[in-house]
Amino acid sequence: MKIVYLDNNATTQVAPEVLEAMLPYFHDLYGNPSSMHSFGGQVAQKLREAREQVATLIGASPDEIIFTSCGTESDNAAIRSALATHPERRHIVTSRVEHPAIKSLCANLAGQGYRVTELPVDKNGLLDMEQMESSLTPDTAVVSLMWANNETGVIFPVEKAAALAHERGIPFHTDAVQSTGKIPINVKKSAIDMLSISGHKLHAPKGIGVLYVRKGTKFSPFLIGGHQEKGRRGGTENTPSIIGLGKACELAARRMEAENTAVKRLRDKLETALLDGIPQSRVNGDLFQRLPNTTNISFEFVEGEAILLLMNEYGICASSGSACTSGSLQPSHVLRAMGVPFTMAHGSIRFSLSTYNNEEEIDFVIEKLPPIIERLRGMSPYWTSVAQACVSA
Ligand code: PLP
């Protein structure tokens, strides 16, 4: 069965160019980049190139790039570093819609006595910047706000938020795991101190991440060990993956604009056709402040899990809520924070596209999904009573 993969915010396919760049470093060029001999030295040279490629994509300097094992590690390293370097401060500002890599960490820190402010969002998933500003106190050790939401694609004004934090001498971190490679980022033009990236969201492999740390920002390492990453992250480097991530960043820098135009056109086509073809459906999240590849659509009176199962029979892959929470039947914390009604939140599906999707795939989903929803609603007592009420009205 052909797979129609519309779950690219969960993970992406490794680009063929990325795989090709990585392969020699698993077998032939397996040297340790820290070794004195030139066999290791040639790998170290390749890591320098990868560091430059990553830095170029986000407008950073190579020595501001720290390679980590994933986005979650980068997020943890950033928050823990801010707390360690400002031990007298006990307050963290974040939002209600963060990924568990930040949300669960902050809950854990709250259990250790830190005060955590989770900023609310409005019905479109947007932040109130005045509220953000008024939450900052002399006790605030760090502000951490995601650049783009993994479930809705909604984009936060992180550059503005970073400037507000900086005016008060508060370090600012952003989880840019979903925005890197999808929208332009230039850290030089902003006051962002720390920024997290995850390779597998931009066509590099799983298990490789980056933490950008602005030059001059106080930093305390999360993983303490060898002198790798200039003592900022111990552990022998994951050389093939770092080289792969470098290549993925180079491709993203070169192709982002053209790819995004194509991806956005397909996303909009899918969204419009589903909204037009399926009654009682709506998009969750702001229509404009949004990633070009994501649409989160609610189909009222049906279970998201049931939709996923029936789509799966056609090889269509998407998500209900985020991949990390789909094991739970609770509506996602993001949709709850936006006040999406229960009957809508339960039937929400996230479609997230990539440059590897095509028109034929989108047409296939547009053909298959409306009958799936109709079939499920036919079994739903809520929908039957709504439909009867409409007929008798
Ligand atoms: N932050 C966001 C916004 C994410 O979407 C994800 C993954 O879904 C992460 C962090 C965690 O990244 P990783 O899977 O590399 O740990």
Which among 195, 224, 252 is the end of a domain?
252
Q: What is the pLDDT of residues 14-25, one digit of tens each?
A: 999 999 999 999
Tell which atom from ligand 1 comes closest to the C-alpha of 75.
10
Q: pLDDT category, 393, cuts 50, 70, 90? A: low
- Residue 64 is predicted with a pLDDT of 98
The two tokens of residue 325 are 């929470």
Which positions are annotated as active-site residues?
324
Residues 317 and 199 placed together within one structural domain of the fold = no
Q: Any residues with CB less than 8 A from the CB of 188 and at least 6 apart, and which? A: 59, 60
Residues 183 and 285 placed together within one structural domain of the fold = no
The two tokens of residue 151 are 């479930």
Residues 246 and 260 placed together within one structural domain of the fold = no
327 vs 238, higher pLDDT? 238
Which among 205, 223, 252 is the end of a domain?
252
Q: pLDDT category, 388, cuts 50, 70, 90? A: low
Residue 178 CB–ligand 1 contact under 6 Å: yes
Distance (Å, rounded) from C-alpha 284 to C-alpha 326? 17
Residues 200 and 277 placed together within one structural domain of the fold = no
- Residue 330 is predicted with a pLDDT of 78
Residue 101 CB–ligand 1 contact under 6 Å: yes
Average pLDDT across the chain, whole number: 95
Which among 230, 252, 274 is the end of a domain?
252
The arithmetic mean of pLDDT across residues 337-350, rounded, is 94
Residues 243 and 296 placed together within one structural domain of the fold = no
pTM: 0.95
Q: Are the beta carbons of 190 and 164 closer than 8 angstroms?
A: no
- Burial environment of residue 261 by CB neighbours within 10 A (0 to 12, 13 to 18, 19 or more): exposed
Residues 225 and 367 placed together within one structural domain of the fold = no
Backbone angles phi, psi at 122, to 5 degrees: -85, -170
Q: What is the pLDDT of residues 69-117, one digit of tens each?
A: 999 999 999 999 999 999 999 999 999 999 999 999 999 999 999 999 9
Q: Are the beta carbons of 227 and 198 closer than 8 angstroms?
A: no
CATH code of the domain containing 122 = 3.40.640.10
CATH code of the domain containing 292 = 3.90.1150.10
Residue 329 has pLDDT above 70, yes or no: no
Residue 209 CB–ligand 1 contact under 6 Å: yes
Residues 293 and 370 placed together within one structural domain of the fold = yes
> Which amino acid residue places its CA nearest to atom 14 of ligand 1?
71
Tell which atom from ligand 1 comes closest to the C-alpha of 198.
15
Pairing of strands 194-198, 172-175: parallel
> Quick check: is 51 in a domain?
yes
Q: pLDDT category, 321, cuts 50, 70, 90? A: low
The two tokens of residue 253 are 């820098």
Work out the number of other CB atoms within 10 angstroms of the CB of residue 380.
18
Residues 117 and 235 placed together within one structural domain of the fold = yes
Residue 175 CB–ligand 1 contact under 6 Å: yes
> Domain range holding 171?
16-252
The arithmetic mean of pLDDT across residues 221-233, rounded, is 96
Q: pLDDT category, 323, cuts 50, 70, 90? A: very low
Q: How far is ligand 1, taken at its centre, from the CA of residue 254, in Å? A: 24
Distance (Å, rounded) from C-alpha 107 to C-alpha 290? 27
Residue 174 CB–ligand 1 contact under 6 Å: no
Is 339 in a helix, a strand, or coil?
A: coil
Q: pLDDT category, 324, cuts 50, 70, 90? A: very low
Residues 240 and 270 placed together within one structural domain of the fold = no
Q: What is the pLDDT of residues 179-215, one digit of tens each?
A: 999 999 999 999 999 999 999 999 999 999 999 999 9
Q: Which of 177, 183, 352 to mutate to test the pocket of ligand 1 (most atoms within 8 A of CB)?
A: 177
> Quick check: is 386 in a domain?
no
Buried b / exposed e over 128-162, threshold 16 CB at 10 Å, is eeeebeebbeeebbbbbbbbbbbbbbbbbbbbebb
| CA-based nearest residue to 241, from 16, 64, 68, 42 | 68
> Which amino acid residue places its CA nearest to atom 13 of ligand 1?
71
Residue 292 CB–ligand 1 contact under 6 Å: no
State how many domains the chain has.
2
> Quick check: is 391 in a domain?
no
Residues 26 and 165 placed together within one structural domain of the fold = yes
